A = this chain, B = another copy of it.
Amino acid sequence: MTGSAIASRVLIKELPSHEGQQVKLRGFVYTRRDLGGVQFLLLRDRSGVAQVVLSKTHLPMPESSVEVIGKVVRQAKAPGGFEVQASNLHVLSEATEPPPVEMNKVEWHANPETLLDYRYVTVRGLKDRAALKVQATLVDAFRDYLSREGFTEIFTPKIVSAGAEGGANLFELDYFGERAYLAQSPQLYKQIMVGVFERVFETAPVYRAEEHATSRHLNEYLSLDVELGFIDSEEDVMDVEEALLRNVVERLEAQCQEEFDLFGASLPILGERFPRIPLMEARRIVTEKYGHQVGGKDLDPEAERLFSQYVLEEYGSDFVFVTKYPRTARPFYAFFEEDGFTRSFDLLFRGIEITSGGQRIHDLAMLKRSLSERGMSEAGFEGYLEVFKHGMPPHGGFAIGAERLTAKLLGIANVRFARAFPRDRHRLTP
């Protein structure tokens, strides 16, 4: 039997509408069980998992690709309530090695490094693909909302001649004999594009050559960038980000409930409005309420955690904007006030920073003053300064790290498992 009589492949989720009929399924062997007289396969395709009943057949190793032809029969105990009583199993591609872990288990008790070494097959795992599905959905929701709000997508260079932040943490590259770098952020380019489309976004990789390996950093990550012009202040930027995230959460609720359930994760608590609280007040609260002395100029990771906890209790929100960072804690292009603070913000989500944003300096003289007051030379920033000779409107924006947001949404402790093929201090493969 070649199956030529059966027109085309049916997806597993479509089985109920084919009860009593002969169908052709294609998918991966999930599990196999041979009871002598009767054999069972669980077959996985992109739409679900089905039980297949066979006899006297060579059952190939898990993860082999197969085609099954058989009759759809109601079976209460089978996943989805139907099974396929197969007359034929055709092996499309036989696995030659078993996967290093059992693919149908939700939890694996394996060394994370081993899982990442075998990522080319472990990424088929239930939680691994659920995380990537959630990420694809949130990126789609991000673009979709912004497009509706009059934003235009841009595609900016990742090979650059200088870093937006001034030089640290850059990967260096040989560009036909010239020194070049991988972009840390599309910062300057998205600002330029505000002059073209006023409102722009980009979803593209960025690069940070950070030496330290932590559970919250990646050396290559997906940055969801937004920039908009003709704003009155950073409040306009926060308005856009809040509305955007509410839309993203709404979409995840509609399309990814199954994935959240798999992780035992709950959707974000949004509250009436994301509170906007100045950094100095946040630091005071963390010290007074939790006795935590905050190190540095920013919030340290423990302070971020405690402050998020406070905001959830007091305001009923998983998100909080921390605003008005001092100039010393922000890059030279942050719009500053005479009091030494900037029109900038971070967005914390469940205890971790997922965004930096704010209003940028649009005035050439102010930009030069910013460099000079920081003791930075204009040399090396000529290309940046040049742009501001052409009437750049007041503008601002933000960037969201897609993997970090995905990890926090689903409760994934190590951000590397929220990226398909992570790059870290020690990992360049697969």
Q: Which residues of A contact B (CB under 8 A)?
A: 9, 26-29, 45-46, 60-61, 63-65, 92-97, 99, 120-121, 123-124, 128-129, 132-133, 135-136, 139-140, 143, 147, 150, 152-161, 171-176, 178, 180, 182, 189, 192-193, 195-199, 204-205, 207, 209, 211, 219-220, 222, 229-230, 362-364, 383, 386-387, 389-394, 402, 419-421, 423, 425-426, 428-430
Contact = CB atoms under 8 A, between A and B. Distances in A.
A189 B132 CA distance: 14
Contacts of A211: 176
B155 A419 contact: yes
Nearest to A139: B153
A156 to B, nearest CB: 6
A23 to B, nearest CB: 14
Contact of A26 (B175, B386, B393, B426): B393
Contacts of A92: 230, 362, 393-394
Contact of A147 (B123, B140, B386, B421): B140
A172 to B, nearest CB: 5
Given A155-B420, A189-B420, A161 B390 contact: no
Nearest to A205: B158
A155 B196 contact: no
Contacts of A129: 196-197
A115 to B, nearest CB: 14
A321 to B, nearest CB: 22
Contact of A133 (B152, B160, B180): B152
Contacts of A133: 152, 197
Nearest to A157: B421
Nearest to A426: B176
A384 to B, nearest CB: 9
- Report copies per complex: 2
Nearest to A65: B393
A220 B156 CA distance: 10
A46 B173 contact: no
A63 B155 contact: no
A425 to B, nearest CB: 6
A61 B95 contact: no
13 contacts: A46-B199, A94-B391, A95-B389, A95-B390, A97-B389, A124-B195, A128-B196, A132-B197, A139-B153, A139-B155, A143-B143, A155-B402, A158-B220
Nearest to A67: B230
Contacts of A121: 195, 387, 390
Contacts of A123: 192-193, 195-196
A180 to B, nearest CB: 6
Contacts of A64: 391
A65 B230 contact: yes
Given A93-B363, A172-B173, A46 B420 contact: no
Given A121-B195, A196-B123, A390 B158 contact: no
A47 to B, nearest CB: 8
A174 B175 contact: no
Contacts of A46: 150, 197-199
A97 B174 CA distance: 34
Given A175-B171, A230-B26, A154 B392 contact: no
Nearest to A422: B157
A172 B171 contact: no
Q: Which 7 A-B pairs have the closest CB atoms?
A: A65-B393, A64-B391, A95-B391, A46-B198, A136-B153, A26-B230, A63-B391
